[in-house]
Amino acid sequence: MTEPTSLTSALHKLLQRAIQAGGGWIGFDRFMALALYAPGLGYYANSGAKFGTMPEGVKGEGSDFVTAPELSPLFGQALAAQVGEALAATGTDEVWEFGAGSGALAQQLLGTLGETVRRYTIVDLSGTLRARQQARLAGFGDTVRWVDALPEAIQGVVVGNEVLDAMPVKLLVRQGGQAGGVWWERGVALEGDALAWADRPTELRPPVEVEGPQDYLSEIHPQAEAFIATLADRFRASLQSGGRGGAAFFLDYGFPESEYYHPQRHMGTVMCHRAHQADTNPLADVGLKDITAHVNFTGVALAGQDAGLNVLGYTSQARFLLNCGLASLMESATLAQRANALKLIAEHEMGELFKVIGFCTGEPWEALGFTHGDRTHVL
């Protein structure tokens, strides 16, 4: 039996037990949490390759997708300009990174910021990714540390690249259209031994009324919003104990609420990624591929504000990186490096789909990354 077959078989049995314990049904958020994070079995908790520029059989990488730091080191170098400014504005010398992946972004930030950063803390649930990060970041010595949970209080600058999209979501489906339509929560059940979709009545609703007569599938994001609220709580605890609080920047693909729940986006945004191919069936090959959903940045912004944070800005990744000096960094890069960096800002690549949102404790300042093209007014 091959290792992938063993992996999917063990995870499938775990999911079967969870469904049986749930009375024959679990919500998609519970399924997604197990599929991605079940210890030793979930996608981010097993030993399979994830991050890299090439799929299996090409340069021996065997990766499933590429993120911005793997695509170009100029990403982290540009982001470092904003992180450095935020460290100075908050009077702190600590950086916290959530979901550090291969460690590429940490390497880029530390290499650019140097002694400005006294301590760099990585919060990551994956033991196999942690080992990869430790090997990559060994040269930075005791500056880097790893934790698997947030302490009671934190201060400094938080960064998260493609973190919010990997947080489990709930699926809601409307049948019958806007007028008299019925909403259901979509979850996972068993048909024999196989995983299958199953809907249950629910009082849950999207945050806005979705117009139109069509059936409609979408997501709500209680875990991502709870995460932002928890982060705000940890900042607040720091301030209450005499610390300095801090700032946070999240980069991810998504939309403001008005675009997220647009009538034409009626099939939802859940996607799976494996070997640089995308599909829309999270019930297949569970544990062997990533499962994501686009971010509702309005919900994220409101969660931060409700928890006491101020929004520093919201804009496209292209505008953010250009504000942070990416163009000047590209001038001294090789042609190949410029070509990869261009993918970070090209509208048909990552430049427009990916957005950046910033938060801070205390009085906001005119943050570098949002000086031109701020879109906070559309949230």
Q: Which residue type sits at 370?
A: F
Q: Percentages helix, strand, coil for the chain, rounded to the nearest 5?
A: 40, 25, 35
Count of H helices and E strands in the chain? 12, 16
| pLDDT tens column, 171-189 | 999 988 776 789 999 999 9
pLDDT tens figures, 142-169:
999 999 888 999 999 999 999 999 999 9
* Number of residues assigned to the chain: 379
| Average pLDDT over all residues of the chain | 92
More confident residue, 4 or 192: 192
| The pLDDT of residue 379 is above 90 | yes
How does pLDDT run across 264-278, given as a tens digit for each residue?
999 999 999 887 688
Structural domains in the chain? 3-378 (3.40.50.12710)
pLDDT of residue 4: 59
* Arithmetic mean of pLDDT, 57-71: 65
Q: What is the pLDDT of residue 2?
A: 41
